[in-house]
Amino acid sequence: MPGKWRCAVGATGSMKHFRVVFEPDGREISIHQGATLVDAAGQAGIVLNTSCGGRGTCGKCAVLLGPSGRRVLACQYTIQSDLAVTVPAEARFYAHKILQHGLDGTTGLQRTIVDKYRAIAGPTPICGITVDIGTTTVVAGLVDLADGRSVATRAMLNPQTRFGDDVVTRISYAESEAGLARLRAVIVDGINELIEGVCRDAGIDADAIYEASIVGNTTMNHIFLGFPVRQLGQAPYHAHSVDAHDLSPSSLGLRMNAAGNVHTCENVAGFIGSDTTAAALAVDMDSASQRTLLVDIGTNGELVLGTSGQLYAASCAAGPALEGARIRCGGRAAEGAIEAVVIDNDDIALDVIGDIQPHSICGSGLIDAVAVLSQLGVVDATGRFADVAEVRSRCSAPVASRLIELEGQPAFRLSDEGRAGQVAVVLTQKDIREFQLAKGAIQAGTRLLLAKMGIDGEDLERVLLAGAFGNYIRPASAVRVGLLPNVPLERIHFVGNAAASGARMLLLSDESRTTAAALARSIQYVEIAHESRFSEVFSEAMLLSP
C-alpha cells in the first residue's frame, strides 16, 4: 500500500528500524518495523507497479526475498527484520517500459547510439546522463547505454536559488542579458558538478558520457539553452521555443564527451515544460484509456488531465512551501526531518527520517501535520488556529499543551527541544497560510481542469502523484486537506520522479522521442489564472477540506 501508514515513531520514543537492501540497484535504506516493502522501495527511490492500489489482488508488485528467493507481494509484506530484496524488472513501474521502448535490441536510439559511439569509444563504457532541472532541485542520473542500467544518481539544490526561489523571480533576474548569462552559467556549473559526482561514484571518466537528456520547466529549459525568458513573465506567457533541441555539449558548456549530443525535449507551453512532457510520457498519458490526473508537485504544481484523446494541462503557482521552503521549521526530506505525523492515542506521533531528534519538517510531514491539526480541530476549515479554550475543550490534554504562542501568534509544537540545544519544531499560523496558498493553487487548478473536461473529481479513475516526495505522502492526508481530489484511496498511485523516468526513456529511445513530440503537441494548455472563475475557485480551494 504505497504511502499507507503502518506505525509511527513517538516524538520522544523510538521504534525499531531495519535495513533493507534492494538489488540489483544496490540501494540500502533504513525503515521502521511494520512498513511495507512498497513503502521501503519508495524510500529507496524505486517505484513498484501497484496496479491494484496495494490490495494484494494484481500480483504486479511481486519481489524476491533473499537468499531463499521466496516470492512475496511487496504491498502485503511488512518488514520485521533486516532484508535483502531483489526487484525484478516486471515489478517496476517504469523499467518494463524502458525495456520495451529503448532496449529491444533492434530499433531505437540506444542501439543507434551505441553503434554511433562505438567507433569512437572502442571497448570503453558508453554512458548517458539524464538531468531534471527543477526550480529547487536538480537531479542527475548516469545510465549505462549498453543495457539501460541506472549506474549512479546525484541531486543538488538548484544553484540559481540564490537569485530567487521561484520562477517568477528568476525570470525577472534574467530579463537583462547579463542576468540570463549569469543564471545560465550557474546551472551549467551545477550540472557539470553533478556529472563529476556521478562519474566519481561510478568510477568512470566524464568522456564516457556521450548522450544527455535534459528536462525542466520552460523557464529552466530556456535559461539552460540561453533563450530569452522575458516573455515568460508577461501575459500571454509564450515560450520562446517549444521544440526539442539537439546540441553539442561544447556549445552548451557541458563537460562530457565532445563528440556527444545533448537532447532537450518539447515544452508544452510557457508554464508547462519538458519535465511535464517527460512525466506524461513516463506514465503513458499518450495511451491512457482511463480518466487520469497526473499531479507533479515541485515548486510549481503541474497537472495533466484526461485520456489519450483529450488532454489538458495547467501549471499552478504553488510556491516552494510543499518542498519545505517558506515554512518556519521547513526543510528538505533529509535526516532529522519530520516526514509523517499521525494521531496516536491521545497525542500525536512523528516519523523522523533517520530516527533522530527532529530539527525540521519536510513536505509530506507538513501535509500530514495540517491534516492532523484539522482533524483534531486545532485549526478550523479556514486554517485559523482555534483559541486555547476551544482546543482545551475539544482536545486531549497532551494535544492542548502543544498549542503555544510564538512571537504573538498561535503555533503548534510538534517536537520538544533537543538535548543539544536544538529548538522545537513548530507550525505557526503563517506556516498554515503558506500551506493553504500552495495546496489551494493545486486544488483550484485541478477543479478548473476538471470543469474543462466536464467531469467531477469523483469521476477520475486514476490519480497519479509524481514528484520527489510523492512516495512519502499519505493519501488520506492529501485528500483530507484537499490537495488531491476526493477519490477512493486505492485510485491514488505514487509514481515517483516521473520526469526523471521520462528523461531516461528519452535518453534511451528514439521511439520515445517521437511519442513525446506528439504528446507535447496534443496537450492543451489552460492558463488557469485567466479562467473567469479562478478567484472564486481559488478562495474556495484555500479551505482545509476535501
Q: Which spans of this chain sit near ligand FES (rule: CB under 6 A)?
A: 50-52, 54, 56-61, 73, 75
Q: Quote the least distance from Cβ 24 to ligand FES, whole Å.
A: 21
Nearest distance from residue 103's CB to ligand FES, in Å? 25
CB of 472 to ligand FES, least distance (A): 18
What is the bridge-based pairing of β-strands 462-466 and 292-297?
parallel
| Residue 4 vs 413, nearer CB to ligand FES | 4
Neighbours of 423 (CB within 10 A): 12
Is the peptide bond prior to 67 cis by the omega test (within 30 degrees of 0)? yes
**Least distance (Å) between residue 51 CB and ligand FES:** 6
Contact 296, 467 (CB under 8 A): yes
Q: Which is nearer to ligand FES, 31 or 195 (CB)?
A: 31
Nearer Cβ to ligand FES, position 59 or 488? 59
* Minimal distance, residue 54 CB to ligand FES, in Å: 5
- Contact (Cβ atoms closer than 8 angstroms) between residue 295 and residue 442: yes
Considering Cα of 503, then 440, then 48, then 197, what sign does the dihedral take? positive
Closest distance to ligand FES from the beta carbon of 63 (Å): 10
- Kindly tell me which of 75 and 174 has the beta carbon lying closer to ligand FES: 75
Distance (Å, whole) CA 252 – CA 191: 11
Please, which residues have CB within 8 angstroms of residue 495's CB and are 6 or more apart in sequence?
Answer: 47, 93, 282, 283, 294, 464, 465, 466, 470, 501
Question: Would you call 203 helix, strand, or coil by DSSP?
Answer: coil
48 vs 63: CA distance, rounded Å: 9
* Residue closer to ligand FES (CB basis): 94 or 435: 94
24 preceded by cis ω (within 30°)? yes
d(CA 67, CA 61): 19
Q: Which is nearer to ligand FES, 4 or 452 (CB)?
A: 4
CA 294/CA 67 separation, integer angstroms? 37
Give the shortest CB-74-to-ligand FES separation in angstroms.
6
**Cis before residue 236, ω within 30 degrees of 0?**
yes
Name the minimum Å distance from CB 76 to ligand FES. 6
Nearer to ligand FES, 57 or 535 (CB): 57
Nearer to ligand FES, 50 or 315 (CB): 50
All three cell numbers of 4: 499507507
> Using the 8-state DSSP alphabet, how is residue 511 labeled?
H
